[in-house]
Chain A
Amino acid sequence: MTLTRRQDLPRFVAAAFALAAAAGLAAQDLTLPNRKDSVHFAVIGDSGTGNSNQMRVAQRLAAIRPKFRFDFALMLGDNLYGSSAPRDYASKFEKPYKPLLDGGVKFYATLGNHDNTNERFYKPFNMNGERFYTFKPPNASVRFVSLDTNYMEQDQLAWLQKELANSQSDWKIVFFHHPLYSSGGEHGSDLQLRERLEPIFVKYGVDVVFSGHDHFYERIKPQKGILYFVSGGAGKLRKGDALRAPFTAKAFDTGYHFMLVEVTDDTLYFQTISDQGQTVDSGTFLRVKRNNGTATTTKPATGGVKPTTNTVRP
């Protein structure tokens, strides 16, 4: 960059800081194995503020992508706060995630309580015009299911059972806005949804669930063999709101965050990174193999994997 005028100085300084920050961000330790043949994705929740906090998280996410090449990101709802006019899509989604969108990252959104239901028609959210939908990355035995927990009617429950029953994928990952388990003081666990959804998840072998709504990070101890995450801090934060329940494995509510996830064979690896670039949680989760209805676990992953802070067993 050539500095020719005094007026260029502030922009030059800002650019220099951005470059320095990006270099620092990319250099942070990745705890994920980063295998070429695995499924890589990011997770963000309650992101759509359009403010500097969302931008900071988005920049961290973009900075780490050259190192951990995720192909898609799950959006856990409250994708656009305030309204859903064209300017909101621009400031609360297109601008913050422009480097990722330009880099070919697909965003799969779910609807939150602050979202207009017509956001499902916005193509970059990849909802196929539906309130609830499913997708499967190519050449991967991972089935993702997105639900609309704002309005959990019988038809949606019936659809969910049918999709999970028909799925032959090794991994079944479900994502939606309202957490079934959360120690949040503001919202917390949605017990009505848990009563309806958990039995279905257990019956049809769901492995992992991601939710937002509570504005912090929380990893829940596996419940009936299912690993739950609350990840609602990519644009919003409620400091001190994670009250830590007996089911809490790890919580982080003093900063914004995003998640990186890698699924390979029978192991799911996760790393949660704050807006300051710190790893606040990481670990592995071993899939429960189901053979003729009998659940068995696999041996822990060994060799070639950097030590992680947690091995989560179902």
Chain B
Amino acid sequence: MSLTAYIVTLTFALTVSWSSTRASQSQPVNRDAQILADFTARVKAYVQLVDKADAGAPPLNETKDPAKIAVAQDALAERIRAARAGAKQGDVFTPEIAKKFRSLLRPPLKGKEGAETKEKILEEKPKGVPRQVNAKYPEKEPLTTMPPNVLLSLPKLPEQVEYRFVGKDLILRDARANIIIDYIPNAIT
């Protein structure tokens, strides 16, 4: 083989090798994006279901009569339960999404600041919160404050849906209907 041919062959081989490495490195990033997009789509599907169920429920507007607030909240909850009667844990937080969320929650809980954050999360000790999809969040139990650095690390949610911790479990809660949409057991360690 001439020197020129050798150089060309070597250059080609190195280029192919570099491109292959780059391609394999980009796959995890794309997969992560797919998982988070899947989560967003599932939450969006939930909101669409709620909007449809809400169409027949008494509206939750400002009122002087607290009974109307309770009736609207509970009526919406019933309609949502009926609309997603077969819903179960993992419908929104699929195993893959739950795994991704556990990894998203590790950085804000690292180090000294992370220890303080975790302390705040576990400060409230709500008891008797059922880990059950479609269950009502017990009104007598406090809602855990969500540290802002944790919220920053998680995907943004539509207005009526929120993250909350119950102990180390992460729940997805419908704030208007006051029900549990889904949950991740042991989301933090």
Contacts and interface: CB of A to CB of B under 8 A. Distances in A.
B60 A150 contact: no
A1 interface: no
Interface in B46-62: 60-62
Contact of B62 (A121, A190, A195): A121
B151 A154 contact: yes
B145 interface: yes
Contacts of A155: 156
28 contacts: A82-B139, A82-B140, A83-B140, A86-B66, A86-B70, A88-B66, A89-B66, A113-B142, A113-B143, A114-B143, A117-B176, A118-B60, A118-B175, A122-B62, A122-B64, A122-B69, A123-B63, A123-B64, A150-B146, A151-B162, A152-B146, A152-B148, A153-B146, A192-B117, A192-B148, A192-B149, A193-B148, A195-B148
Interface string A182-217: 000001001111011000000000000000000000
Interface string B105-134: 000000001001100100110000000000
Given A118-B73, A192-B117, A154 B149 contact: no
Interface of B: 60-67, 69-70, 73, 113, 116-117, 120, 123-124, 139-140, 142-149, 151-152, 156, 162, 175-176, 178
Contacts of A195: 148-149
Interface string A37-79: 0000000000000000000000000000000000000000000
B120 A192 contact: yes
B139 A191 contact: no
Given A84-B70, A154-B156, A117 B145 contact: no
A121 B118 CA distance: 31
B152 to A, nearest CB: 7
Contacts of B73: 118
Contact of B145 (A82, A123, A150): A150
Contact of A153 (B66, B117, B123, B148): B148
- What 10 A-B pairs come out closest when comparing CB atoms? A83-B139, A89-B66, A152-B148, A192-B147, A86-B66, A86-B67, A113-B142, A117-B175, A123-B64, A196-B148
Interface string A144-157: 00000111111101
Nearest to A85: B70
Given A83-B139, A192-B116, A124 B176 contact: no
Nearest to A149: B145
Interface of A: 82-86, 88-90, 113-114, 116-119, 121-124, 128-129, 149-155, 157, 178, 187, 190-193, 195-196
Contacts of B149: 192, 195-196
A90 B151 CA distance: 35
A157 B62 CA distance: 24
Given A83-B140, A113-B142, A190-B120, A118 B148 contact: no
Contacts of A119: 69
Given A118-B178, A151-B162, A178 B145 contact: yes
A123 B69 CA distance: 11
B175 A121 contact: no
A152 B144 CA distance: 12
Given A114-B143, A190-B120, 19 more contacts: A82-B139, A86-B70, A88-B66, A89-B66, A114-B142, A116-B139, A118-B73, A118-B175, A118-B176, A123-B62, A128-B62, A129-B62, A149-B145, A151-B145, A151-B146, A152-B146, A154-B151, A154-B152, A190-B145
